[in-house]
Chain A
Amino acid sequence: MAALPDDVARVALDLPLRANLSALDNVALIPLYQRHLDAAEAVRQALAVLDALGHADIAPLRDPDMTPAQRFVTQLARALMLKRPRLVIDRPGAMLYDVPYPEFIKRLAAQPAMTGTWEIFDFGWNQALYPQ
């Protein structure tokens, strides 16, 4: 995939989680280092994003202990935490091989606290999965 501009938050297989950190810590890194919040506030914000996606229960899990769907949700939470104007989900099929993924992503996007547009880039042959 060609390099994307800096205002795009990507969720992609080639942007994995930090393996030795929990889902919560992976998401909390963003406010900790970008907005220089204290640890407690960063963790609170990270938990709020996971909760908004309906997956607060995965907070203590580390990458190797997650299912592909849980891993995807954590990557998505991290991308949402970046608060960039565009959010691109790059080839979701490569990450979400254990769930029917267009429906799964639609369910996540339908959570009450979710705003903005998520752009999905997928292989042409998967077009049938996305009814207009």
Chain B
Amino acid sequence: MNFFAATLESLGAKLVGWFDVGYGMFAFLARALMLLLDPATWNRATFDVVIKQVYFTAVQILHVFLGYALVISWLIITIILSTAREFGLTEFATEMAIRVLVLELLPFLTALFIALRSGSAINTEVALMRVNNELDALDHCKVPPMQFEFLPRLIGGVVSVVTLATLAGLVALLLAYLSIYGMSMAGFEAFTRTVAKIFDFRIVAGLAMKCALFGLAVTLIPVTAGLETPKKLFMVPVSVLRGMMRVFFAIVAIEVMSLALKYI
């Protein structure tokens, strides 16, 4: 009986903890959105920090990211083409390659890439800022941390994931064409027809929304996890661990939801 009560109590505490984390995250997002709509937020200083964040998150890693997208796309396209040839389904190869790569795999890998590179850095930085009292110091100086530190990171994350996923998608489309038709322009009409058939308004809007949610997940979750850190230096790695686990689950949940909405 005691064991049952203890299990129930621990489960209840976990549920309350998850609810607390979820509520904190959505409350933070609501505050960020309200600030986003406030014209006073959009001063030169905030705009400069946003540009800096987009540079650090997307531009600085562009060559590495495009190389990585190129290799992954080439591999997947080659696998799809050889499998399609083997089963006599070459006419579906283009559509298959585009659906797998541009709609699903590349946005997912982009989100993972940004999460591992920038999300973990954001989580660590915010946790250290909290532990070192830097946020209190900003508050004392009446420099709003939301406008100066957090909002630019959220915007930078969303802009970076959407832009990088779009660029990776374009690279994959180009590679798919070259792998199927080579340098000849003969297949251009058939290829563009397939592309147009796949990318109707609903799909494009869904893809944009998915990428934006990915971008939000890889920045919002690390920021809120960092802000939850108790003011003890040894808790910083624990905060990053928790934050990155949440990011992983959020990315997978967004991908699963998007797949379910599209195909079920």
- Evaluate contact between B48 and A39: CB separation under 8 angstroms: yes
Interface size, A (range): 10 to 19
- Evaluate contact between A19 and B128: CB separation under 8 angstroms: yes
- C-beta contact mask, B118-134 vs A, less than 8 Å → 1, else 0? 00000001001100111
User: CB-CB < 8 A to B34: which residues of A?
Assistant: none
Tell me, rounded to whole Å, the shortest Cβ–Cβ distance linking B199 to chain A: 41
Tell me, rounded to whole Å, the shortest Cβ–Cβ distance linking A54 to chain B: 22
User: CB-CB < 8 A to A18: which residues of B?
Assistant: 129, 134, 137-138
Identify the stretch in B13-21, B143-151, B253-261 within 8 Å (CB) of chain A at 4 or more residues. Answer: B143-151
- Evaluate contact between B44 and A16: CB separation under 8 angstroms: no
CA distance A19 to B149 in the complex (A): 13
- Evaluate contact between A33 and B125: CB separation under 8 angstroms: no
- C-beta contact mask, B145-165 vs A, less than 8 Å → 1, else 0? 001100000000000000000
Residues B40-89 near A (CB distance < 8 A): 43-45, 48
Interface residue from B132, B136, B141 paired with A19 (Cβ < 8 Å): B132
The 12 sampled A-B contact pairs (Cβ below 8 Å) are: A15-B133, A15-B136, A15-B137, A15-B140, A16-B133, A19-B129, A29-B138, A33-B45, A34-B142, A34-B143, A39-B45, A78-B141
- Evaluate contact between A30 and B141: CB separation under 8 angstroms: yes
Question: A10 at interface (Cβ–Cβ under 8 A)?
Answer: yes
Interface size, B (range): 20 to 34
Chain A contact surface mostly: loop
- Evaluate contact between B137 and A33: CB separation under 8 angstroms: no
- Evaluate contact between A17 and B143: CB separation under 8 angstroms: no
User: CB-CB < 8 A to A29: which residues of B?
Assistant: 138, 141, 143, 148
User: CB-CB < 8 A to B45: which residues of A?
Assistant: 32-33, 36, 39
Question: A82 at interface (Cβ–Cβ under 8 A)?
Answer: yes
Tell me, rounded to whole Å, the shortest Cβ–Cβ distance linking B251 to chain A: 27
Q: For residue B44, which residue of chain A has the nearest CB?
A: A38
Residues A21-41 near B (CB distance < 8 A): 29-30, 32-34, 36, 38-39
